[in-house]
Chains A and B, each alone.
Chain A
Amino acid sequence: MTTTMPPPPAQSQPQSNAPTAHPLEPSALTTLLSTTAPSTPLSASTIQILHNLQHQHLWTSLRVHDLHLPSPNPNPDSTTPNDPLYLISGIPPHHVYTHPDEQLFMLERGLRDEDVELDRMFVLPTVEGQSWSLRKMAGVFDSLPGGDDETSREVEGEKADKLREYYEYREKARVTREWGGKRMLLAMVDRQMGGDGTVVYYVVHDGAVKPRQN
């Protein structure tokens, strides 16, 4: 899947930046942060979260996208320019989120989580203490792609029919938002004084989507 997000990714994939050998051996993360090109506070935390996704949660084909939201116009008193935001996208090792109705649909057809192809998921990296607003949230969701087309999927095996039916229905559900609208993960890293570098992840949906039966 290619993301069409203006402008094209500003950063190279960090995994290509192999940490160089160092006599005093700072942590892998520190090395990564200091060797990665432009260093704004937010880009550093973005890389930290990307690092966490890659090595702790085993996500693959991770990418960083620049995100330029339309500047909030009724804000003439603020002199700070609109900071660019970043988005991370990648493919998780297993499904992070399944809508309860989708789960039921799959269960009725004997489909299991592993049968369904994994989708690229977007992660919004944030830092504890960062200020946020509904406008920003809506801007991020509006810039997310609508989802890839299901027709190109190739399915085979004994469950092919069921899977095809599932993908077909999922396409419809995406339009009617029956299984929820756009969603992303909100990642928040604790980087303030005394922070332990924990990264927490929350699923954020566009619109009211009923909760899972946890």
Chain B
Amino acid sequence: MDEPTLPIPISYIAGSYFLFSIDAVTYVRREHHICGVLSGTLPQIPQQNVFLGLPLKLMPEEARLLVEKGVACIVDEVKVQKDGMRSLMEEDRKKYLRELESQGQHAMRLQTDRKEQQREKALKKIEEKKAKARKAEQPPVADGPSEGSVVDLFANDQGSETSRRSSTVAAPYGTAMGVTPATSYPPLPYESSAEQRLALPEVPSSYPMFAHLHSEGYFLSPGLRFGCQYLAYPGDPLRFHSHFLGVSAEWDEEFDLMKIVAGGRLGTGVKKGFLIGGAEKTEGDAGDPSSVRTFSIEWGGM
């Protein structure tokens, strides 16, 4: 598996944080429990949004956590693109295009090869079937070698004809598939300069709780679907159901107790716990971000 070079650039585009490299996406998920949300659709058919692909959109909390861990850095993608394009020489451009074309040709070749193999396999199967059918027919017809040979010839003939035809189809090595790379490096540099980097992402006040749950090993994802702020999974969301519906509050924020009852009921209804928490403010200091208290609530069943 490819390990991306650290720090991974997180692209900041129009107020959102994106990862465009599949290596980076799998790496942060595997090593840092950051899942994000896939957001790419087909450009022409954006309404097909059941299965989405790259880029991966990160919550500001996720982006911040990665930056604070030193795993990633935020780059102003617009600036990177503009600077990169400006410094790109004509020679580089041509070389890059040539490279893309050869990649496309390679992809085309692989595809046609595979098609060829599949076709041959299918033909072999048909021939075997025919041979079997012939064998089954032969015993009752005592002396039918002429007929058999005719069938055999015919089958052979057909097979060779198709394979000949297919080999002519497989020939067009000149045409290449269009390749759309997900990332803009190699032509642009991978590492960003200091002026292209941005400060830590602005995060909502729920960040301490997010970081706290994350540090306890939970995978967190946006919780709108379950009516909360974060869903906390005990492992990868592809393998586990979530344990908690997380909601954050300020230490002295006054809230109606109905919130706890409603959350507790909602959580129990979907076999989860309702979790409310926030950064603890003790009398002395002005709020140590590392001390977060959480409370989980379940219906009492009485």
Partner of A57, one of B253, B294, B295, B302: B302
- Judged by a CB distance under 8 angstroms, whether B201 is at the interface is no
Chain B nearest CB from A207 CB (Å) reads: 6
List the count of A-B residue pairs having beta carbons below 8 Å apart.
Answer: 123
- Judged by a CB distance under 8 angstroms, whether B268 is at the interface is yes
- Judged by a CB distance under 8 angstroms, whether B176 is at the interface is no
Cα A128 to Cα B261 with chains together (Å): 10
Partner of B244, one of A57, A97, A138, A208: A208
- Judged by a CB distance under 8 angstroms, whether B9 is at the interface is no
Contact A207 B254 (CB under 8 A): no
Query: What secondary structure prevails in chain B residues at the interface with A?
Result: mixed
Residues facing A in B255-280 (CB within 8 A) are: 255-258, 260-261, 264, 267-268, 271-273, 275-278, 280
Residue of B nearest to A70 (CB): B283
Contact A134 B216 (CB under 8 A): no
Residue of B nearest to A205 (CB): B296
Contact A202 B253 (CB under 8 A): no
Contact A75 B252 (CB under 8 A): yes
Contact B257 A130 (CB under 8 A): yes
Q: Which of A73, A130, A202, A204 has the largest number of chain B CB atoms within 10 A?
A: A202
How many residues in B have their beta carbons less than 8 Å from beta carbons of A? 42
Interface residues on A, range: 35 or more
Partner of B273, one of A75, A141, A209: A209
Chain A nearest CB from B237 CB (Å) reads: 16
Residues facing B in A185-206 (CB within 8 A) are: 185-186, 188, 200-206
Contact B257 A188 (CB under 8 A): yes
Residues facing A in B276-302 (CB within 8 A) are: 276-278, 280-281, 283, 293-302
Instruction: Please name all residues of chain A whose beta carbon is closer than 8 Å to the beta carbon of B250 when the two chains form the complex.
Output: 134
Contact A201 B300 (CB under 8 A): yes
- Judged by a CB distance under 8 angstroms, whether B243 is at the interface is yes
- Judged by a CB distance under 8 angstroms, whether A174 is at the interface is no
CB contact under 8 A between A211 and B271, given known A129-B256, A135-B251: yes
Residue of B nearest to A57 (CB): B302
B76-107 Cβ-contact flags toward A at 8 Å (1 or 0)? 00000000000000000000000000000000
CB contact under 8 A between A185 and B257, given known A137-B295, A207-B294: no
- Judged by a CB distance under 8 angstroms, whether B249 is at the interface is yes
CB contact under 8 A between A133 and B296, given known A96-B301, A200-B261, A211-B243: no
Chain A nearest CB from B245 CB (Å) reads: 10
Contact A134 B297 (CB under 8 A): no
CB contact under 8 A between A202 and B300, given known A132-B256, A133-B254, A134-B277: yes
Contact A208 B301 (CB under 8 A): no
A4-34 Cβ-contact flags toward B at 8 Å (1 or 0)? 0000000000000000000000000000000
Residue of A nearest to B264 (CB): A202
Residue of B nearest to A129 (CB): B256
Contact B257 A133 (CB under 8 A): no
Contact B293 A134 (CB under 8 A): yes
Cα A208 to Cα B244 with chains together (Å): 8
- Judged by a CB distance under 8 angstroms, whether A213 is at the interface is yes
Contact B254 A210 (CB under 8 A): no
- Judged by a CB distance under 8 angstroms, whether B213 is at the interface is yes
Contact B275 A208 (CB under 8 A): yes
Cα A118 to Cα B271 with chains together (Å): 26
- Judged by a CB distance under 8 angstroms, whether A48 is at the interface is no
Residue of A nearest to B248 (CB): A134
CB contact under 8 A between A205 and B295, given known A129-B258, A134-B278, A211-B271: yes
Contact A185 B300 (CB under 8 A): yes
Contact A186 B280 (CB under 8 A): no
Instruction: Please name all residues of chain B whose beta carbon is closer than 8 Å to the beta carbon of A214 when the two chains form the complex.
Output: 268, 271, 299, 301
Contact B300 A209 (CB under 8 A): no
Contact B277 A203 (CB under 8 A): no
CB contact under 8 A between A133 and B295, given known A128-B257, A208-B213, A210-B243: no
Contact A133 B294 (CB under 8 A): no
CB contact under 8 A between A132 and B257, given known A74-B252, A208-B213, A211-B273: yes
16 A-B pairs whose Cβ atoms sit less than 8 Å apart in the complex: A74-B281, A128-B258, A129-B258, A133-B254, A133-B255, A135-B251, A186-B257, A202-B264, A205-B298, A206-B295, A207-B293, A207-B294, A208-B213, A208-B218, A208-B244, A208-B296
B residues near A, CB below 8 A? Answer: 213, 216, 218, 232, 234, 243-244, 249-258, 260-261, 264, 267-268, 271-273, 275-278, 280-281, 283, 293-302
Q: A202-B260, A204-B260, A210-B243 are in contact. List 8 more A-B contacts (CB 8 A).
A: A133-B254, A134-B280, A185-B300, A201-B301, A207-B295, A208-B216, A208-B243, A208-B294
